[in-house]
Amino acid sequence: MEMMDTLLLSRIQFAANISFHILFPTITIALGWVLVFFKWRYARTNEQVWMDAYFFWVKVFALSFAMGVVSGITMSFQFGTNWPGFMESVGNIAGPLLAYEIMTAFFMEAVFLGIMLFGFSRVPGWAHTGATVLVAVGTTMSTFWILVLNSWMHTPQGFEMRDGVAHATDWFAIIFNPSMPYRLVHVLLASGLTVGFLIAGMSALRWVMGERSAEVRKSLRLGVIMGASIIPLQIYAGDMHGLNTLEYQPAKVAAMEGNWETQGNVPLLLFALPDEEARENRFEIGIPSGASLILTHRLDGEVPGLNDFVAEGGTVLHPPVNAVFWSFRVMVGTGMAMLVLSWAALFLMRRGRGIEGLPRPVVWAFLPMAFSGWLATLAGWYTTEIGRQPWLVTGVLSTDAAVGDVPPALVASTLVAYLVIYAALLVAYVSVLVYLARRKAKGASVPEAGRPISGAIQSIPAE
Protein backbone atom coordinates (compact mmCIF):
# COMPACT_ATOMS: atom_id res chain seq x y z
CA MET A 1 0.00 0.00 0.00
CA GLU A 2 2.80 2.34 0.91
CA MET A 3 4.54 1.77 -2.43
CA MET A 4 1.22 2.38 -4.14
CA ASP A 5 0.97 5.80 -2.54
CA THR A 6 4.52 6.67 -3.47
CA LEU A 7 3.82 5.52 -7.02
CA LEU A 8 0.69 7.62 -7.35
CA LEU A 9 2.27 10.71 -5.77
CA SER A 10 5.41 10.37 -7.88
CA ARG A 11 3.28 10.08 -10.99
CA ILE A 12 1.29 13.18 -10.12
CA GLN A 13 4.53 15.01 -9.33
CA PHE A 14 6.14 14.07 -12.63
CA ALA A 15 2.94 14.84 -14.55
CA ALA A 16 2.71 18.26 -12.87
CA ASN A 17 6.34 18.94 -13.63
CA ILE A 18 6.29 17.89 -17.26
CA SER A 19 2.94 19.65 -17.85
CA PHE A 20 4.38 22.88 -16.52
CA HIS A 21 7.62 22.38 -18.42
CA ILE A 22 6.12 21.64 -21.85
CA LEU A 23 4.22 24.93 -21.89
CA PHE A 24 7.44 26.88 -22.37
CA PRO A 25 9.43 24.85 -24.92
CA THR A 26 6.18 24.76 -26.91
CA ILE A 27 6.55 28.53 -27.14
CA THR A 28 10.32 28.85 -27.54
CA ILE A 29 10.76 26.20 -30.27
CA ALA A 30 8.72 28.13 -32.84
CA LEU A 31 9.21 31.62 -31.38
CA GLY A 32 12.97 31.27 -31.90
CA TRP A 33 12.34 30.87 -35.64
CA VAL A 34 9.83 33.73 -35.63
CA LEU A 35 12.57 35.96 -34.17
CA VAL A 36 14.88 34.82 -36.97
CA PHE A 37 12.09 35.71 -39.41
CA PHE A 38 11.79 39.22 -37.93
CA LYS A 39 15.53 39.79 -38.25
CA TRP A 40 15.51 38.47 -41.81
CA ARG A 41 12.62 40.76 -42.80
CA TYR A 42 14.43 43.70 -41.22
CA ALA A 43 17.62 42.89 -43.13
CA ARG A 44 15.64 42.67 -46.39
CA THR A 45 13.33 45.70 -46.01
CA ASN A 46 15.16 47.91 -43.51
CA GLU A 47 11.73 48.70 -41.99
CA GLN A 48 11.92 49.53 -38.29
CA VAL A 49 8.61 47.76 -37.68
CA TRP A 50 10.36 44.37 -37.86
CA MET A 51 12.88 45.33 -35.18
CA ASP A 52 10.04 46.67 -33.02
CA ALA A 53 8.34 43.30 -33.32
CA TYR A 54 11.64 41.58 -32.60
CA PHE A 55 12.29 43.57 -29.40
CA PHE A 56 8.78 42.94 -28.14
CA TRP A 57 8.82 39.19 -28.74
CA VAL A 58 12.41 38.64 -27.62
CA LYS A 59 11.26 39.60 -24.12
CA VAL A 60 8.55 36.93 -24.24
CA PHE A 61 11.15 34.50 -25.56
CA ALA A 62 13.62 35.28 -22.74
CA LEU A 63 10.98 34.82 -20.06
CA SER A 64 9.63 31.61 -21.60
CA PHE A 65 13.14 30.26 -22.04
CA ALA A 66 14.01 30.82 -18.37
CA MET A 67 10.78 29.10 -17.30
CA GLY A 68 11.60 26.15 -19.57
CA VAL A 69 15.18 25.84 -18.36
CA VAL A 70 14.43 25.78 -14.64
CA SER A 71 11.54 23.33 -14.96
CA GLY A 72 13.62 21.16 -17.28
CA ILE A 73 16.41 20.86 -14.72
CA THR A 74 13.82 19.80 -12.16
CA MET A 75 12.73 16.99 -14.46
CA SER A 76 16.22 15.69 -15.05
CA PHE A 77 16.73 15.40 -11.29
CA GLN A 78 13.37 13.71 -10.82
CA PHE A 79 14.55 10.83 -13.01
CA GLY A 80 16.93 10.05 -10.15
CA THR A 81 14.95 11.12 -7.09
CA ASN A 82 11.64 9.48 -8.08
CA TRP A 83 12.20 7.08 -10.98
CA PRO A 84 15.59 5.38 -10.45
CA GLY A 85 14.27 2.21 -12.15
CA PHE A 86 14.05 4.04 -15.46
CA MET A 87 17.77 4.64 -15.94
CA GLU A 88 18.70 1.37 -14.22
CA SER A 89 16.67 -0.57 -16.75
CA VAL A 90 16.92 1.43 -20.01
CA GLY A 91 19.80 3.79 -19.15
CA ASN A 92 21.98 2.30 -21.89
CA ILE A 93 19.54 3.72 -24.44
CA ALA A 94 18.07 6.76 -22.70
CA GLY A 95 21.52 7.85 -21.46
CA PRO A 96 23.24 8.57 -24.77
CA LEU A 97 20.10 10.28 -26.13
CA LEU A 98 19.92 12.61 -23.12
CA ALA A 99 23.68 13.17 -23.25
CA TYR A 100 23.44 14.21 -26.89
CA GLU A 101 20.61 16.58 -26.07
CA ILE A 102 22.72 18.28 -23.39
CA MET A 103 25.88 18.39 -25.50
CA THR A 104 24.43 19.44 -28.86
CA ALA A 105 21.53 21.63 -27.72
CA PHE A 106 21.54 22.88 -24.12
CA PHE A 107 24.96 24.53 -24.11
CA MET A 108 24.49 26.09 -27.52
CA GLU A 109 21.09 27.53 -26.60
CA ALA A 110 22.29 28.88 -23.27
CA VAL A 111 25.51 30.50 -24.50
CA PHE A 112 24.04 32.11 -27.61
CA LEU A 113 20.94 33.20 -25.71
CA GLY A 114 23.23 35.46 -23.65
CA ILE A 115 24.62 36.98 -26.85
CA MET A 116 21.18 37.22 -28.45
CA LEU A 117 19.59 38.94 -25.45
CA PHE A 118 22.34 41.24 -24.26
CA GLY A 119 24.87 41.43 -27.08
CA PHE A 120 22.96 43.57 -29.60
CA SER A 121 25.19 46.58 -28.98
CA ARG A 122 28.37 44.54 -28.48
CA VAL A 123 28.56 42.43 -31.65
CA PRO A 124 28.05 43.23 -35.36
CA GLY A 125 24.54 42.81 -36.76
CA TRP A 126 25.36 39.60 -38.63
CA ALA A 127 26.77 38.04 -35.47
CA HIS A 128 23.64 38.94 -33.53
CA THR A 129 21.46 37.37 -36.24
CA GLY A 130 23.80 34.37 -36.18
CA ALA A 131 23.31 34.01 -32.44
CA THR A 132 19.54 34.19 -32.94
CA VAL A 133 19.70 31.44 -35.57
CA LEU A 134 21.85 29.24 -33.33
CA VAL A 135 19.41 29.62 -30.43
CA ALA A 136 16.57 28.56 -32.74
CA VAL A 137 18.65 25.63 -34.05
CA GLY A 138 19.42 24.67 -30.44
CA THR A 139 15.78 24.56 -29.37
CA THR A 140 14.93 22.46 -32.44
CA MET A 141 17.84 20.05 -31.80
CA SER A 142 16.67 19.70 -28.23
CA THR A 143 13.18 18.86 -29.48
CA PHE A 144 14.64 16.24 -31.80
CA TRP A 145 16.63 14.37 -29.14
CA ILE A 146 13.98 14.42 -26.45
CA LEU A 147 11.33 13.23 -28.91
CA VAL A 148 13.61 10.45 -30.09
CA LEU A 149 13.76 9.25 -26.49
CA ASN A 150 10.06 9.80 -25.86
CA SER A 151 9.12 8.00 -29.08
CA TRP A 152 11.44 5.14 -28.24
CA MET A 153 9.58 4.76 -24.94
CA HIS A 154 6.37 4.37 -26.95
CA THR A 155 7.72 2.19 -29.76
CA PRO A 156 11.02 0.68 -28.58
CA GLN A 157 13.30 -1.22 -30.97
CA GLY A 158 16.98 -1.75 -31.71
CA PHE A 159 17.86 -3.29 -28.33
CA GLU A 160 18.07 -6.58 -26.48
CA MET A 161 17.40 -7.39 -22.83
CA ARG A 162 20.22 -8.95 -20.80
CA ASP A 163 19.62 -9.60 -17.08
CA GLY A 164 16.73 -7.15 -17.03
CA VAL A 165 18.80 -4.34 -18.55
CA ALA A 166 18.29 -3.03 -22.08
CA HIS A 167 21.41 -3.01 -24.29
CA ALA A 168 21.53 -1.09 -27.55
CA THR A 169 22.06 -3.24 -30.66
CA ASP A 170 21.18 -0.80 -33.46
CA TRP A 171 21.37 2.95 -32.88
CA PHE A 172 19.83 3.76 -36.24
CA ALA A 173 16.77 1.67 -35.32
CA ILE A 174 16.62 3.33 -31.89
CA ILE A 175 16.76 6.88 -33.24
CA PHE A 176 14.45 6.27 -36.20
CA ASN A 177 11.97 4.20 -34.22
CA PRO A 178 8.52 3.84 -35.81
CA SER A 179 6.67 6.66 -34.04
CA MET A 180 9.54 9.21 -34.03
CA PRO A 181 8.96 10.98 -37.37
CA TYR A 182 5.22 11.37 -36.70
CA ARG A 183 5.66 12.54 -33.13
CA LEU A 184 8.42 15.00 -34.03
CA VAL A 185 6.41 16.58 -36.85
CA HIS A 186 3.27 16.68 -34.68
CA VAL A 187 5.11 18.45 -31.86
CA LEU A 188 6.94 20.94 -34.11
CA LEU A 189 3.66 21.88 -35.78
CA ALA A 190 2.00 22.16 -32.36
CA SER A 191 4.68 24.64 -31.37
CA GLY A 192 4.03 26.64 -34.54
CA LEU A 193 0.31 26.74 -33.79
CA THR A 194 0.88 27.70 -30.16
CA VAL A 195 3.09 30.61 -31.18
CA GLY A 196 0.81 31.66 -34.05
CA PHE A 197 -2.19 31.94 -31.75
CA LEU A 198 -0.10 33.53 -28.97
CA ILE A 199 1.12 36.23 -31.38
CA ALA A 200 -2.38 36.76 -32.78
CA GLY A 201 -3.89 36.82 -29.27
CA MET A 202 -1.35 39.24 -27.81
CA SER A 203 -1.66 41.49 -30.86
CA ALA A 204 -5.46 41.40 -30.62
CA LEU A 205 -5.12 42.38 -26.97
CA ARG A 206 -2.91 45.35 -27.91
CA TRP A 207 -5.41 46.29 -30.64
CA VAL A 208 -8.32 46.14 -28.19
CA MET A 209 -6.29 48.32 -25.81
CA GLY A 210 -6.11 50.95 -28.52
CA GLU A 211 -2.75 50.39 -30.20
CA ARG A 212 -2.84 51.13 -33.93
CA SER A 213 0.85 50.78 -34.85
CA ALA A 214 2.16 49.17 -38.03
CA GLU A 215 3.79 46.59 -35.80
CA VAL A 216 0.59 45.39 -34.16
CA ARG A 217 -1.03 45.03 -37.61
CA LYS A 218 1.87 43.06 -39.04
CA SER A 219 2.08 40.88 -35.93
CA LEU A 220 -1.61 39.99 -35.92
CA ARG A 221 -1.46 39.20 -39.63
CA LEU A 222 1.58 36.97 -39.04
CA GLY A 223 -0.19 35.14 -36.21
CA VAL A 224 -3.30 34.55 -38.32
CA ILE A 225 -1.27 33.34 -41.30
CA MET A 226 0.76 31.00 -39.08
CA GLY A 227 -2.40 29.55 -37.55
CA ALA A 228 -4.30 29.22 -40.80
CA SER A 229 -1.43 27.65 -42.73
CA ILE A 230 -0.25 25.23 -40.03
CA ILE A 231 -3.60 23.91 -38.81
CA PRO A 232 -4.42 21.86 -41.97
CA LEU A 233 -0.92 20.40 -41.91
CA GLN A 234 -1.39 19.55 -38.25
CA ILE A 235 -4.71 17.81 -38.85
CA TYR A 236 -3.08 15.72 -41.58
CA ALA A 237 0.00 14.98 -39.44
CA GLY A 238 -2.19 14.09 -36.47
CA ASP A 239 -4.19 11.69 -38.61
CA MET A 240 -0.98 10.00 -39.81
CA HIS A 241 0.28 9.82 -36.23
CA GLY A 242 -3.01 8.18 -35.23
CA LEU A 243 -2.60 5.51 -37.92
CA ASN A 244 0.94 4.89 -36.67
CA THR A 245 -0.40 4.51 -33.13
CA LEU A 246 -3.06 2.08 -34.41
CA GLU A 247 -0.29 -0.10 -35.76
CA TYR A 248 2.04 -0.01 -32.75
CA GLN A 249 -0.11 0.87 -29.72
CA PRO A 250 -3.63 -0.39 -30.55
CA ALA A 251 -4.73 -0.24 -26.88
CA LYS A 252 -4.16 3.51 -26.92
CA VAL A 253 -6.29 3.95 -30.03
CA ALA A 254 -9.03 1.79 -28.50
CA ALA A 255 -9.08 4.11 -25.47
CA MET A 256 -9.03 7.23 -27.67
CA GLU A 257 -12.07 5.93 -29.56
CA GLY A 258 -13.79 4.54 -26.45
CA ASN A 259 -14.19 1.23 -28.31
CA TRP A 260 -14.61 -1.86 -26.12
CA GLU A 261 -15.05 -4.69 -28.65
CA THR A 262 -12.86 -5.31 -31.70
CA GLN A 263 -15.26 -4.92 -34.62
CA GLY A 264 -16.09 -3.13 -37.86
CA ASN A 265 -18.38 -0.12 -38.39
CA VAL A 266 -17.16 1.55 -35.19
CA PRO A 267 -18.78 4.96 -34.68
CA LEU A 268 -16.84 8.16 -34.16
CA LEU A 269 -17.95 9.14 -30.67
CA LEU A 270 -18.62 12.83 -30.14
CA PHE A 271 -19.73 12.27 -26.58
CA ALA A 272 -19.76 9.31 -24.19
CA LEU A 273 -19.10 8.50 -20.58
CA PRO A 274 -16.88 5.42 -20.62
CA ASP A 275 -17.63 3.25 -17.56
CA GLU A 276 -14.51 1.26 -16.75
CA GLU A 277 -16.31 -0.88 -14.15
CA ALA A 278 -19.11 -2.04 -16.42
CA ARG A 279 -16.75 -1.92 -19.43
CA GLU A 280 -19.21 -0.03 -21.64
CA ASN A 281 -20.08 3.53 -22.65
CA ARG A 282 -23.03 5.49 -21.37
CA PHE A 283 -24.83 8.33 -23.18
CA GLU A 284 -23.10 7.57 -26.45
CA ILE A 285 -23.51 10.06 -29.28
CA GLY A 286 -21.54 9.22 -32.40
CA ILE A 287 -21.26 9.34 -36.17
CA PRO A 288 -21.94 5.82 -37.48
CA SER A 289 -18.84 4.05 -38.81
CA GLY A 290 -16.84 7.28 -38.38
CA ALA A 291 -13.95 5.80 -36.38
CA SER A 292 -13.65 2.88 -38.81
CA LEU A 293 -13.54 5.29 -41.72
CA ILE A 294 -10.85 7.52 -40.19
CA LEU A 295 -8.64 4.69 -38.95
CA THR A 296 -8.97 2.19 -41.80
CA HIS A 297 -10.43 4.36 -44.59
CA ARG A 298 -13.24 1.79 -44.92
CA LEU A 299 -16.72 1.97 -43.35
CA ASP A 300 -16.59 -1.63 -42.14
CA GLY A 301 -12.91 -1.49 -41.16
CA GLU A 302 -11.99 -3.29 -37.95
CA VAL A 303 -10.98 -1.15 -34.96
CA PRO A 304 -9.27 -2.77 -31.95
CA GLY A 305 -11.32 -2.94 -28.75
CA LEU A 306 -10.25 -2.50 -25.13
CA ASN A 307 -11.52 -5.94 -24.14
CA ASP A 308 -8.65 -7.47 -26.11
CA PHE A 309 -6.26 -5.97 -23.56
CA VAL A 310 -7.41 -7.76 -20.43
CA ALA A 311 -5.29 -10.65 -19.18
CA GLU A 312 -6.71 -14.04 -18.15
CA GLY A 313 -6.82 -13.16 -14.46
CA GLY A 314 -8.67 -9.90 -15.15
CA THR A 315 -5.57 -7.68 -15.01
CA VAL A 316 -6.18 -4.62 -17.15
CA LEU A 317 -3.37 -4.03 -19.67
CA HIS A 318 -4.86 -1.00 -21.40
CA PRO A 319 -4.60 2.64 -20.31
CA PRO A 320 -7.27 4.37 -18.19
CA VAL A 321 -10.07 5.01 -20.68
CA ASN A 322 -11.70 8.22 -19.46
CA ALA A 323 -8.52 10.30 -19.29
CA VAL A 324 -7.35 9.26 -22.76
CA PHE A 325 -10.84 9.48 -24.31
CA TRP A 326 -11.46 13.02 -23.06
CA SER A 327 -7.94 14.39 -23.51
CA PHE A 328 -8.14 13.33 -27.14
CA ARG A 329 -11.47 15.13 -27.60
CA VAL A 330 -10.19 18.32 -25.96
CA MET A 331 -7.19 18.30 -28.31
CA VAL A 332 -9.26 17.73 -31.44
CA GLY A 333 -11.91 20.23 -30.32
CA THR A 334 -9.28 22.91 -29.74
CA GLY A 335 -7.78 22.16 -33.14
CA MET A 336 -11.19 22.61 -34.77
CA ALA A 337 -11.66 25.96 -33.01
CA MET A 338 -8.22 26.99 -34.32
CA LEU A 339 -9.19 25.98 -37.84
CA VAL A 340 -12.47 27.91 -37.81
CA LEU A 341 -11.09 31.09 -36.25
CA SER A 342 -7.88 31.36 -38.27
CA TRP A 343 -9.57 30.66 -41.62
CA ALA A 344 -12.46 33.00 -40.86
CA ALA A 345 -10.00 35.75 -39.90
CA LEU A 346 -7.84 35.14 -42.97
CA PHE A 347 -10.93 35.38 -45.20
CA LEU A 348 -12.12 38.58 -43.52
CA MET A 349 -8.67 40.17 -43.79
CA ARG A 350 -8.31 39.39 -47.54
CA ARG A 351 -7.32 41.94 -50.19
CA GLY A 352 -5.54 44.26 -47.80
CA ARG A 353 -8.51 44.85 -45.52
CA GLY A 354 -6.29 44.00 -42.56
CA ILE A 355 -7.50 44.12 -38.98
CA GLU A 356 -10.16 46.68 -39.92
CA GLY A 357 -11.85 43.89 -41.87
CA LEU A 358 -12.36 41.91 -38.68
CA PRO A 359 -15.64 42.42 -36.80
CA ARG A 360 -15.10 43.14 -33.09
CA PRO A 361 -16.23 39.67 -31.93
CA VAL A 362 -13.59 38.06 -34.15
CA VAL A 363 -10.84 40.29 -32.72
CA TRP A 364 -12.06 39.47 -29.22
CA ALA A 365 -12.19 35.75 -30.04
CA PHE A 366 -8.41 35.79 -30.42
CA LEU A 367 -7.95 36.78 -26.77
CA PRO A 368 -9.08 33.49 -25.17
CA MET A 369 -7.43 31.65 -28.06
CA ALA A 370 -4.02 33.17 -27.16
CA PHE A 371 -3.32 30.12 -25.01
CA SER A 372 -5.29 27.60 -27.08
CA GLY A 373 -1.98 26.08 -28.14
CA TRP A 374 -1.19 25.28 -24.52
CA LEU A 375 -4.57 23.58 -24.07
CA ALA A 376 -4.21 21.48 -27.22
CA THR A 377 -0.58 20.59 -26.45
CA LEU A 378 -1.36 19.46 -22.91
CA ALA A 379 -4.41 17.49 -24.04
CA GLY A 380 -2.33 15.87 -26.77
CA TRP A 381 0.43 14.91 -24.35
CA TYR A 382 -2.08 13.46 -21.91
CA THR A 383 -3.59 11.42 -24.72
CA THR A 384 -0.30 9.92 -25.77
CA GLU A 385 1.40 9.61 -22.36
CA ILE A 386 -1.55 8.32 -20.33
CA GLY A 387 -2.26 6.19 -23.40
CA ARG A 388 1.09 4.47 -22.89
CA GLN A 389 0.13 3.25 -19.41
CA PRO A 390 0.54 0.86 -17.69
CA TRP A 391 3.92 0.92 -19.43
CA LEU A 392 6.75 3.40 -18.98
CA VAL A 393 8.56 1.79 -21.92
CA THR A 394 6.01 -0.16 -23.95
CA GLY A 395 6.36 -3.87 -23.24
CA VAL A 396 9.74 -3.39 -21.53
CA LEU A 397 9.31 -1.52 -18.26
CA SER A 398 6.09 -0.95 -16.35
CA THR A 399 5.62 2.35 -14.55
CA ASP A 400 5.27 0.77 -11.09
CA ALA A 401 8.58 -1.08 -11.56
CA ALA A 402 10.54 2.15 -12.04
CA VAL A 403 9.40 4.15 -9.01
CA GLY A 404 11.89 4.86 -6.23
CA ASP A 405 11.55 3.84 -2.60
CA VAL A 406 10.90 7.25 -1.06
CA PRO A 407 8.43 7.69 1.84
CA PRO A 408 5.04 8.93 0.53
CA ALA A 409 5.02 11.82 3.01
CA LEU A 410 8.27 13.12 1.52
CA VAL A 411 6.94 12.92 -2.04
CA ALA A 412 3.70 14.58 -0.92
CA SER A 413 5.58 17.49 0.65
CA THR A 414 7.70 18.18 -2.42
CA LEU A 415 4.63 17.77 -4.64
CA VAL A 416 2.79 20.47 -2.69
CA ALA A 417 5.83 22.75 -2.87
CA TYR A 418 6.14 22.29 -6.64
CA LEU A 419 2.42 22.83 -7.21
CA VAL A 420 2.43 26.07 -5.22
CA ILE A 421 5.46 27.45 -7.02
CA TYR A 422 4.23 26.40 -10.47
CA ALA A 423 0.83 28.00 -9.87
CA ALA A 424 2.46 31.22 -8.69
CA LEU A 425 4.85 31.29 -11.66
CA LEU A 426 2.06 30.63 -14.14
CA VAL A 427 0.03 33.55 -12.76
CA ALA A 428 3.15 35.75 -12.82
CA TYR A 429 3.99 34.70 -16.39
CA VAL A 430 0.56 35.43 -17.83
CA SER A 431 0.28 38.74 -15.96
CA VAL A 432 3.70 39.83 -17.24
CA LEU A 433 2.62 39.07 -20.82
CA VAL A 434 -0.49 41.19 -20.28
CA TYR A 435 1.65 43.90 -18.66
CA LEU A 436 4.08 43.92 -21.61
CA ALA A 437 1.13 44.20 -24.02
CA ARG A 438 -0.39 47.04 -22.01
CA ARG A 439 2.91 48.92 -21.85
CA LYS A 440 3.30 48.56 -25.60
CA ALA A 441 -0.30 49.62 -26.28
CA LYS A 442 -0.46 52.55 -23.89
CA GLY A 443 3.12 53.76 -24.29
CA ALA A 444 4.52 56.08 -21.66
CA SER A 445 1.57 56.02 -19.27
CA VAL A 446 2.64 52.59 -18.04
CA PRO A 447 5.99 52.56 -16.23
CA GLU A 448 8.82 50.69 -17.89
CA ALA A 449 10.24 47.63 -16.21
CA GLY A 450 11.65 48.63 -12.88
CA ARG A 451 12.02 52.28 -13.84
CA PRO A 452 10.01 55.25 -12.63
CA ILE A 453 7.51 56.78 -15.06
CA SER A 454 9.65 59.84 -15.80
CA GLY A 455 12.39 57.61 -17.25
CA ALA A 456 9.88 55.87 -19.47
CA ILE A 457 8.67 59.09 -21.06
CA GLN A 458 12.14 59.79 -22.39
CA SER A 459 12.76 56.34 -23.74
CA ILE A 460 9.43 55.67 -25.46
CA PRO A 461 8.54 58.12 -28.22
CA ALA A 462 4.87 59.09 -28.36
CA GLU A 463 2.94 57.63 -31.25
Partner 1 sequence: MMTLLGDPAVWLPVVFAALMGLSILIYVVLDGFDLGVGILTPIGTEAEKDRMVASIGPFWDANETWLVMAVGLLLVAFPAAHGTILTALYLPVAIMLIGLILRGTAFEFRAKVALPKKKAWNMAFFAGSIMTSMAQGYMLGLYVMGLDNSWSSQAFALLTAVFLTVGYSFIGACWLILKAEGALQLKAVKWARGGIWGVVLGVGAISLATPLVSPRIWERWFSIPEFFLLAPLPLMSAALILGIWVVLRRLPTVNDSFAWLPFAGASALFVLAFTGLAYSFYPYVVPEKLTIYDAASAPESLMIILVGALIVIPVIAGYSALAYYIFRGKARDLRYD
Residues in 418-447 at the binding interface with partner 1, rule: CB under 8 A:
418, 421, 425, 428, 432, 435-436, 446-447
Of 85-93, 198-206, 319-327, 335-343, the segment contacting partner 1 by CB under 8 A is 85-93
Describe the crossing of helices 180-208 and 2-45 by its angle, rounded to 10 degrees: 70
Q: 61 with 432: CB under 8 angstroms?
A: no
Judged by CB under 8 A, the residue of 170, 299, 449, 458 near partner 1 is 449
Beta pairing partners, 275: 280
Residues 336-355 close enough to bind partner 1 by CB under 8 A: none
Minimum distance from residue 403 beta carbon to partner 1 (Å): 11
450 is an interface residue for partner 1 by CB under 8 A: yes
DSSP letter at 105 equals I
Judged by CB under 8 A, the residue of 32, 85, 258, 335 near partner 1 is 85
Of 165-173, 227-235, 340-348, 389-397, the segment contacting partner 1 by CB under 8 A is 165-173
Residues 53-72 close enough to bind partner 1 by CB under 8 A: 55, 58-59, 62-63, 65-67, 69-72
Name residue 43's amino acid: A
Instruction: Considering the complex, state which of residue 139 and residue 372 has its C-beta at the smaller distance from partner 1.
Output: 139
73 is an interface residue for partner 1 by CB under 8 A: yes
Instruction: Considering the complex, state which of residue 89 and residue 372 has its C-beta at the smaller distance from partner 1.
Output: 89
Of 100-108, 140-148, 301-309, 313-321, the segment contacting partner 1 by CB under 8 A is 100-108
Judged by CB under 8 A, the residue of 4, 43, 125, 171 near partner 1 is 171
Judged by CB under 8 A, the residue of 414, 443, 457, 460 near partner 1 is 414
Residues 122-141 close enough to bind partner 1 by CB under 8 A: 122-123
Minimum distance from residue 38 beta carbon to partner 1 (Å): 13
Rounded Cα distance, 99 and 105, in Å? 10
Rounded Cα distance, 354 and 346, in Å? 9
Minimum distance from residue 315 beta carbon to partner 1 (Å): 27
The count of other CB atoms within 10 Å of the CB of residue 20 is: 23
Q: 157 with 173: CB under 8 angstroms?
A: yes
Output the 3-class SS for 223-290.
HHHHHHHHHHHHHHHHHHHHHHHHHHCHHHHHHHHCCCCCECCCCEEEEEEEECCCCEEEEEEEECCH
CA-only gyration radius of the chain, Å:
24
106 is an interface residue for partner 1 by CB under 8 A: yes
Judged by CB under 8 A, the residue of 8, 91, 284, 308 near partner 1 is 91
176 is an interface residue for partner 1 by CB under 8 A: no
Rounded Cα distance, 229 and 145, in Å? 26
352-356 long-range contacts, Cβ below 8 Å, gap at least 24? 354/217, 354/221, 355/207, 355/216, 355/217, 355/220, 355/221
The count of other CB atoms within 10 Å of the CB of residue 193 is: 27
Beta pairing partners, 168: 159
Minimum distance from residue 204 beta carbon to partner 1 (Å): 21
Minimum distance from residue 423 beta carbon to partner 1 (Å): 13
Residues 352-411 close enough to bind partner 1 by CB under 8 A: 404-406, 410
Minimum distance from residue 43 beta carbon to partner 1 (Å): 16
